[in-house]
Every structure is written in structure tokens, then in C-alpha cells.
Amino acid sequence: MTENVNSSIKQKLVKCYHCGNETLMYLKGGYHWQDVEEENEHYHFSSDSYYELYACPVCHNVSLLKRYTDDSMISPTNDGDTKNFFDETTIYPMSSFDNNAVPRKIAVAFEAALKVKNIDNGVCLMALRRTLELVLCDKGATKWGLKDKIEEIASQGLLLESLKEASKFAKILGDTAAHGKDDGVDSNDVNTMVEFVKYILEYLYVLPHKIEIYKKKIEKQEKLSNE
């Protein structure tokens, strides 16, 4: 089932990853898709995806948001009932991580990097370095320096070799920026480091979160099928 969204009224507080401002935006358009899987007359599983397009009144760029929910995504209410909860992500421009999966302190640090990405290369790189250090500490790193933290977590099998190398690059450029030696760093370097840190966040937090959601979906399907 598809449904067009009325775009003439709705407003929402949205974080703009073009300019970094969080501001009230008007909904300019939207789309709703509902998928229903029916195995028999006693069992069906449905999911809903809502796509919403907002325009930033500050920089006049657009942001595309996606809200997703399905029958496995339920939480209790204060009155003893249940309700569906949503995963909301910014598809465009890159918000880079699932807010429900990434620890808040780390999410805030990464958002700080995104906020200045198009303003100051050096500040963005230092914020990315800080994000990486917070991630490593959250995963149990105890060593003193960032380089040693990367090696420590990698030795435990928590980082793929490619992500280990990506972490080293983020550290090097972050150190370069911190010492005021980032004159040769351009926006392409910054965008690459943002991508690298994004991959690390997705591998360590977002992917396990999505796997757990899907696991609950399968378990619910099996339970209902056996009733």
C-alpha cells in the first residue's frame, strides 16, 4: 500500500546536516509504503516505511528522513498497553548512524563533527578523532594513547583489519589538525574521514542493533507460526 503525505501543514524540528542547524522545518513531500507478509489466515507480518522531505529555512537545502516500524517493534505504555516505536534515520544528507543504536555521548561527538564539516576542516577532524576515542573507550580500551587503544581493540577481534587502518587514518589527520598542521587537508580528506568513522559506527553499533531487531522478528514469526 502506498500513500502520499500531505505536505502543506506538517512541521518538525529537524537537524540539517548541510549547515548543522537544528530548526523547525516544513514537510515538503512524503511517501508511505506498507509491506504485509501473509503466511496463512492466522499469521501476517507488516512493516511501514515513511519517507519525508524537509526544507531547511537557513541554508535552503533539503533533508530526506525515513521512519521505519514493524510488528516486532513494540514497547509497553504506562497504562499497560503496547505501542509501536520507530527507527528514524536521515537518508540525505548523511546523518551517518542509527541514533537508537549509537550511545548518546558518541552520537553527540559525531554530530559535532558533522556540524562543522562544511565550516572548518581542522575542527571537524579533531571532533572525528574524539568520536573515535570515545568509541574505543566504550568498547573497553584501557591503553593510554589513541594508537594503543586502536591496537588493543583490534587485537580483541572487535575491529576488522580495514577498520583498524581507517581508525589510524582518522587518528593521524586528527592529530595533524590538533597541532595546526592541516593546511594540506582539503574537504575530500574530511569527507573520507567522516565516511571512515561512519563505517566504524555502523560495524560496531548499527549492524548489531539491526541484527537484534531482525532476530526478534524471526522469533516472533516462529512463535506465531507454532501457535
Q: Which domains does the chain have, with CATH numbers?
A: 1-95 (no CATH), 101-227 (1.20.120)
pLDDT, tens only, 121-141: 888 888 898 998 899 899 998
Is it true that the peptide bond before 93 is cis, omega within 30 degrees of 0? Answer: yes
Grid cell of 132 as nine digits:
573515535
More confident residue, 175 or 128: 128
3-state SS assignment for residue 185: coil
What confidence category does residue 181 fall into, taking pLDDT thresholds of 50, 70 and 90? low
The predicted pLDDT at position 182 comes to: 65
pLDDT, tens only, 25-44: 999 999 999 988 766 666 67
The predicted pLDDT at position 179 comes to: 64
pLDDT over threshold 70, residue 109:
yes
Q: Which residues pair with 198 in a beta bridge?
A: none
Is 74 exposed, middle or buried, given 0-12, 13-18 or 19+ CB atoms closer than 10 A?
A: middle
Pseudo-torsion of CA 108, 188, 205, 66, nearest 10°? 80
pLDDT, tens only, 63-102: 999 989 888 888 887 887 778 888 888 888 765 455 678 8
Would you give the distance in Å from CA 137 to the centre of its chain?
Answer: 19
Is 1 exposed, middle or buried, given 0-12, 13-18 or 19+ CB atoms closer than 10 A?
A: exposed
Nearest in space to 71 (alpha carbons), one of 222, 216, 226: 216
Helix (H) or strand (E) holding 134: helix 121-138
Residue written as grid cell 516486532: 72
